[in-house]
Amino acid sequence: MKISKTLYDIAWAFTVAMFLRIVFGFVLGTSFPFVAVMSESMVHDAYSVQNYYVWMQDEGFSRESLGEFPFEVGFNKGDALIIGSAKEIEVGDVIVYVNPNLRYAIIHRVIEVTENGYVTKGDRNPAQDPWLVKEEWVKGKAVFLMPLVGWIRVLPTDLIYTVIGRD
């Protein structure tokens, strides 16, 4: 009896989650309305001073312009983001995209907009991403940060990767 109740509760929670994803996706104009931050590529700490502030200033960005970017202080592994439509992406925006060769979502900052796509970089990473992000790869741009909420997804994923031996 308890097992069937538990299975019912799990099925109900899954159904509600999928319904909310569809509704929020429709309202926000994206198929990825919520994402968990799974890595530390956007963390701002002592290490990122060189990899973000110095690197960006070497690339021609002023300290003042960096302060005007959305999520100017980055975010942490385990945070969650609400993602909006991919319309009108500008330098400084944080986007979510899926490179079809990698097949998982990446959350990075746009550092250049070209006619062929976007140049992106994780704030904490020492260099820009090695590919040009095509417009069709982009799922949306970050519009709101929810600290710590993403751990609901990060913890089980990290556990699975630990068990199967993937970094």
Domain membership of residue 64 (yes or no) is: yes
Q: Is residue 81 part of a domain?
A: yes
* Domain around 47: 31-164
pTM greater than the 0.85 cutoff: no
Rounded Cα distance between 36 and 14, Å, is 17
Residue 123 lies in a domain: yes
| 134: in domain | yes
Q: How far from chain centre, in Å, is Cα 96?
A: 5
Count structural domains, the chain: 1
Straight-line distance from the first to the last Cα atom of the chain, in angstroms, rounded to the nearest whole number: 39
Is 19 domain-assigned? no
The CATH number assigned to the domain holding 83 equals: 2.10.109.10
pLDDT tens for the 167 residues of the chain, in order = 577 777 777 777 667 666 666 666 566 666 666 788 888 898 888 888 788 888 899 999 998 898 899 998 889 999 999 898 888 999 999 999 999 999 788 999 999 999 999 999 999 999 999 999 999 999 999 999 989 888 887 777 778 777 876 65
Domain assignment present for 4: no
Structural domain includes residue 17 = no
